[in-house]
Amino acid sequence: MTQLPPAGSIAIGHVVAAMDAESAVWPAGDGLRVFCEMYRQVTVLMALRVTDGTFVDAAFVEDLDVRFADLFLDVPRDLAARRDVNKAWAPLVERRTTHGIEPIQFALAGMNAHINHDLALAVVATCEARGVTPHAPGVHADFERVNQVLAEVVRPIRQSFLDEVVVRAGAPLSPLADLVSDFSIDKARDAAWANALVLWHLRDAGWVASAARDALARTVGLVGRQLLIALG
């Protein structure tokens, strides 16, 4: 079924359309589709919030949101071109159809890769493109305001995943409940900001910068593998 484009930002609307195009070719239950459908809800809300006065520098946040989403969309592009996907995303790609992995695990693994890896890269790229630094007035404040936007939508989504498990299994799975409760988006975004500052200061350091990005991707990938252990 064709979905209506979001209201608000036209640029972010194009991103949502790209997500819809990818989701349409992935089968139901595919790990990438599970994450993409959840991420779409967040992105639709961001399209509204960058036009309603929520942010001090809405243009910066809009640019960041588009660049951020584009890093996720690199995954299906790489798959289509038969290129290796980024190491941060490799576990989700490899296990996207594995039996016994719950949808919430796919969603968490996607959030792990996207927030803990992609977000730092997107912050650096946006600052470079707009000629500002992460320390510029308002940049970090708007970054923090995104947390408030995420709280509007992520908590209900997370609960809906858990409710689905309860309905299907008849009782909550304790390891799964522990996994969900231990994953904090706010803490992940705090870590992403710290990583963005490190990458910002290393951006002109040649192979050192490349090594830092690679180490970040590998570390995030290791976490992703732990999130995607089959529970059933």
Between 152 and 155, where is the model more confident?
Answer: 152
So what's the pLDDT on residue 2? 47
Residue 59 · residue 131 · CB < 8 Å: no
- pTM for the model: 0.91
Instruction: Please determine, for residue 18, whether its predicted confidence score (pLDDT) is greater than 50.
Output: yes
- Cα 30 versus chain centre, distance: 16
How many CB atoms sit inside 10 A of residue 147's CB?
13
- How confident is the model over 95-124, as a mean pLDDT? 95
What tens digit of pLDDT does each residue of 46-79 get?
A: 999 999 999 999 999 999 999 999 999 999 999 9
Q: CA of 29: how far to CAs of 86, 99, 202, in Å?
A: 22, 10, 39
Q: What is the pLDDT of residue 204?
A: 94
Q: What is the pLDDT of residues 180-215, one digit of tens each?
A: 666 788 899 999 999 999 999 999 999 999 999 999
pLDDT on residue 5: 57
Q: Where are the domains of the chain?
A: 10-227
- pLDDT for 220 beyond 70: yes
CA 121/CA 11 separation, integer angstroms: 19
- Report the pLDDT value the prediction gives residue 152, as an integer from 0 to 100: 84
Contact criterion met (CB below 8 Å) for 48 and 79: no
The answer, yes or no, to whether residue 173 has pLDDT greater than 80, is no
The residue type found at 25 is V
